[in-house]
Structure 1
Amino acid sequence: VPALVRHVDDRALLVLALVENIQRADLGALEEAKGYAALREEFGLTQNEIAAAVGKSRSAVANTLRLLALPPSVRRLIDDGSLSAGHGRALLALNDSVQISDLGRKAAEGRWSVRELEAAVKAFVRGSAPPGGAKRPTTQDPAVAALEESLQVAMGSRVAIRWSGKGDGTIRIPFKGPRDLERVFHIITGKDASDVVG
């Protein structure tokens, strides 16, 4: 039987090598997330394409990518096994990096389960409403929370929707350095930043 010779270019070989590395059984959640990010940013793969390449659901890829939005102190706790990826995802319900770091440290020190941390996050959010008894729509309105979650999946990073209480509001998308800003710009506009700034 004649052998089937498959010719692939250098780019495809790099993608295949990266996918094989991601599929290693001993890979940590953050290493996996960094691999997905490399496939997305360096090779332009969508979350659906990454999911198909590594044999996982798109939501699993999206949730893993979200871990990269955690503060460095929490990522270190996940790396050393003090916290799990599930703990990290629970902390992403908070939008302030200082709050995330503080609660992550407490969870690691107290050896909280993911469920215990989720309960603590919910209690923290309820207790951080603005003064005067006004409720914060972003934490109380399920529709807004769903939109925020969907935006976080699309952006591959934390997104915060905030209402003023008068019907208007803001969408906050943090970025880490010029390259990440260019990535965010490209996701929103479909254009390369270099086409705009020259």
Structure 2
Amino acid sequence: MSKRAGSGLGKGLGALLPALDINDDDKVIEIPLSQLRPNPYQPRKHFSDETIQELAASIKEHGVIQPIIVRSVLKGFEIIAGERRFRASQASGLQTIPAVVKKFTDQQVMEIALIENVQREDLNAMEIAVAYQSLIDQFSLTQEVLSTKVGKSRSHIANFLRLLQLPEEVKEYVSRGTLSMGHAKAIVGLKDKKLIKALADTAIKEQWSVRELEEEVKKLEEKGDTKKAKPKQTRKDPYINEVEESLREVYRTTVKIKHNNNNKGKIELLYFSNDDLNRLLELLQGKTS
């Protein structure tokens, strides 16, 4: 009945999974389903109706073979591990479910929910991203600390967190699996949200591979670079040009006048050595002609 930590887990989270083992010393009790509530930190938001019904059919025939893990909370119990068994038990018409009560902190509950699902690859990319961000926000973790805890590289963490920058509709595509993680990574760096949405729609409609989408993004970026290489030239006020030229003759250095539409601005005098600076200071103070 035990669940063991996978080799890919960091020591922080890997140490939590043995706490989910059900040993001979643990007391299994029957808890009314009405007294149970789902784990609020559960990162998985989508449960397959088909798999729940299949599990419900098995429970009707064989019962709940493995007890769920819960912790005691105000007005009942909170599910730590086994929400699918809980949902399937509801679907099968059971009134109670076997459970083992254990003590966990809020952080442990959140971490366990994350690693259980990630290890079973039950989460989609957006759910993982939200779970990572929740851990960071709730417990003030850095990406480095989180990467150690989940046994993943910092770049892995960063790539998932970047998905949270996507427009809401595109996030939904990723959640449903309509758009893959690879496709999302190819467009998440674009600043134009409308362009991201348009590219996502086209990729889905045309069934582009990740490579094809990356090539399209590259083409667009190259066009953008071309535009940036030829910035629009703004015409300077002729009067400002005249004043700059006059000051250059007086101070014998480069002079730039910067001003805004409210006729406020500043005058910059460039110097190239300490001697040059002293020369300008003397001129400004009127000590030389």
Does TM-score exceed 0.5, indicating one fold? yes
Within the candidate set 120, 143, 155, 1:59 is matched to 155
Within the candidate set 156, 166, 176, 1:70 is matched to 166
For the Cα contact (< 8 Å) 1:93–1:121, is it kept in 2? no
Aligned structure 1 segments of 4 or more residues deviating by more than 4 angstroms: 129-133
Higher helix residue share: 1
Within the candidate set 100, 108, 112, 1:13 is matched to 108
Query: 1:78/1:27 Cα in 2 relative to 1: closer, same or farther (>3 Å)?
Result: same
Q: Which amino acid aligns with 1:87?
A: H
**3-state DSSP class of the match of 1:45?**
coil
Query: 1:80/1:19 Cα in 2 relative to 1: closer, same or farther (>3 Å)?
Result: closer
Q: Structure 1 unaligned segments of length 5 or more: list them.
A: 1-5, 136-198
Higher-Rg member (1/2): 2
Partner residue, 2:211: 115
After superposition, residues 21-60 of structure 1 pair within 5 angstroms as 21-23=116-118, 24-60=120-156
Give the superposition deviation at 1:26.
Answer: 1.7
Alpha-carbon RMSD: 2.4
Alpha-carbon distance in 1 for matches of 2:197, 2:203: 10
The percentage of counterpart residues that share the same residue type is: 36
Question: TM-score, normalization: structure 1?
Answer: 0.59
For the Cα contact (< 8 Å) 1:73–1:101, is it kept in 2? yes
Q: Structure 2 unaligned segments of length 5 or more: list them.
A: 1-18, 20-102, 232-289
Give the superposition deviation at 1:49.
Answer: 1.5
Post-superposition CA distance 1:158-184 (Å, at most 9, x none): xxxxxxxxxxxxxxxxxxxxxxxxxxx
For the Cα contact (< 8 Å) 1:22–1:54, is it kept in 2? no
**3-state DSSP class of the match of 2:197?**
helix
Partner residue, 1:106: 202
Query: 1:132/1:92 Cα in 2 relative to 1: closer, same or farther (>3 Å)?
Result: closer
Matched, 1:124 2:255: no
Question: TM-score, normalization: structure 2?
Answer: 0.41
Q: Count how many residue pairs are aligned between Structure 1 and Structure 2.
A: 130
**3-state DSSP class of the match of 1:67?**
helix
Partner residue, 1:89: 185
For the Cα contact (< 8 Å) 2:174–2:180, is it kept in 1? yes
Give the superposition deviation at 1:105.
Answer: 0.6
**3-state DSSP class of the match of 1:42?**
helix
**3-state DSSP class of the match of 2:139?**
coil
Give the superposition deviation at 1:9.
Answer: 6.2
